[in-house]
Structure 1
Amino acid sequence: MAEKQLMIIDCDAGIDDAQAIMMALCQPHIEVVAITCVAGNVSVQRVCHNVLRVLEVCGKLGKVPVYRGAEGPIINRGDPPATSVHGSDGLGDIPSSGALELEKHASAEHAVNKMIDLVVHQHHGEISLVALGPLTNLALAERMKPGFSKQLKMLSLFGGNTEGRGNTTISAEFNFYMDVEAADIVLQEFVCPVYVTGWEASLKHTIDWEWLYEWLNTKTKKGRFVKAVMDHLLQYYKGEWAQNELGEESNFIVCDQLSMAIAIDDKVVKKAHRHLVRVERQGSITRGQMVVDWCRHLGHKDNLNLVTEIDMQLVKDLMQASLND
């Protein structure tokens, strides 16, 4: 029997995070050894609750450890959560019961300490880390245990942008903007193989509405859950993102699902380019923008892989598998 692929999922548990988590949980070759929570779409306490709800729907409650991490960015800028997109609770404001009962399944150990323990002390070079929210926990792990990232098998993250197109400010993507300093630390200091899927990659790899609605009508417990949490997002989407900049009707944009698919199956990546990448920390307009050294002005040390082409049929297959019984 082939060895399991060990995975840590670091997330801020909005709707796309929930779907990405479900993609990993259903894969027989993936063992999720921890889900670590970080403030982003909603508060870190709410993130933990959302993760536990997803685990309950998937029959994994009590089987996958959940850890509470950073409650805010390294430097607190007072940025508001993305409740308009994901709902006030981060999962589309669908009714939830048994909050106190769910919270019993969250570990008391801090997420960053557990990440260091699993990666450095227990599983050298064996863990794939998937980062779906602000990178605060990752940056803290590297600073608390220098060389933490050397012990990772790989990092797949969703965040940043390659063309200066922002979805939170004029030039910054949400995950990087919510903790700019953490994003820059991770991009500068992580030395494992790093795959970055940015906002423009999402805009170029959308899902057609016909497939999406068929997927949302999957007649399973998990399918009904995803359909319920997606209702709020779809209403927001049709109002705010209904058209692209050319005035054409837009297909559905997926984000965290792409980075998770890459971690599950590397064949998802059709093309990636090695580049030196930094994050602008100070700009009055460009703070949080990911800056790619296209012409090597900063030197020749390429530090990560920018994913530019994705096999969307494989992504759809993984998404469909996540809702099957």
Structure 2
Amino acid sequence: MAKLELKGLKKAYGSVDVIKGIDLTIEDGEFCVFVGPSGCGKSTLLRMIAGLEDITDGTFAIDGERMNDIAPAKRGIAMVFQSYALYPHLSVRENIAFGLKVRKTPKAEIDSLVNQAVTMLQLEKLTERFPRELSGGQRQRVAIGRAIVGQPETFLFDEPLSNLDAELRVHMRTQISELHSRLKRTMIYVTHDQVEAMTLADKIVLLRGGKIEQVGSPRDLYERPQNIFAAQFIGTPKMNIFDLENDFSELRGRLNFPAQAHYCGVRPDSFEIVPKDEGLLAASVRLVEYLGNATLVHAQIDGHEPIIIEQPVDTQLKSGDTVYLSVRPSQMHIFGPDGNRLP
């Protein structure tokens, strides 16, 4: 078992606060993804859990046991880094077995554990190759295999796919997800890619500036973002935001918004193009992007920054056209003056 609890966790480098008080519980067997923009503290938080960074304040516990001063090797944790960190002079099999040999594990047990990992990660035909003879995805699988054979209770992944091309990232995401299903171990995964977060996670932890902005399932964060930051970070393309107090005050009179409503958010695929007399907004088309499975329409509303409208692939819109837009009230996200979601 590996239930992780973070209470008031802080990290400072001198006078600079990097992690500013994190309270979080990660349940046994859960796949938790830390996501957020560069510099938000997600990798630092992961390294604190691993024991590679000291904890300035607060408590980190695994299954109720305080871990603040426990050595990394005794935490029951394995970490997979962005860089593969393979030994270039060792074969695939030797790289995977290296940690077991250092711990003086009996040879028969080493062979059994390595064979299991090789089979699980489909590396059977590569065991005698050296890292220089492998692709990026194969090297990453070897690094994961090295972590698996240690039989940790918790796996930590620090942006493991960022060095791979787009097609290989999709393939490796599938393999990591299947690995979690097989092993049923607690996994924490750091990424700046919200698509990875949405497709892998049981629980997403969205970070900004060393603090948690929102915790929940991918569906929670997409359908009920708790503030404008979460609303625009999760979802591609990002949510369109309208200021009801200034640029779009006329919408307040036409729609039944709460008195404290200050901002209205609309996802690109929530817009409907309607006849002029049914439209809430008029916009001029600036650019039409064909993506194969959808069309993105970049449009300009007078006095406002451009918006994005997602349309079917067969749309006939072109630059210079005027469109009239409507949105169902159930698909609007309403935020107060502080940017937080209103009930």
Q: If each structure's helix is expressed as a fraction of its own residues, which one has the higher value?
A: 1
Report the TM-score range of the alignment, normalised by the length of the smaller protein. Answer: under 0.3
Greater relative CO (CA pairs within 8 A, separation 6+) = 1
TM-score, with normalisation over the residues of structure 1?
A: 0.27
Q: If each structure's strand is expressed as a fraction of its own residues, which one has the higher value?
A: 2
User: Rg larger in 1 or in 2?
Assistant: 2
TM-score, with normalisation over the residues of structure 2?
A: 0.26
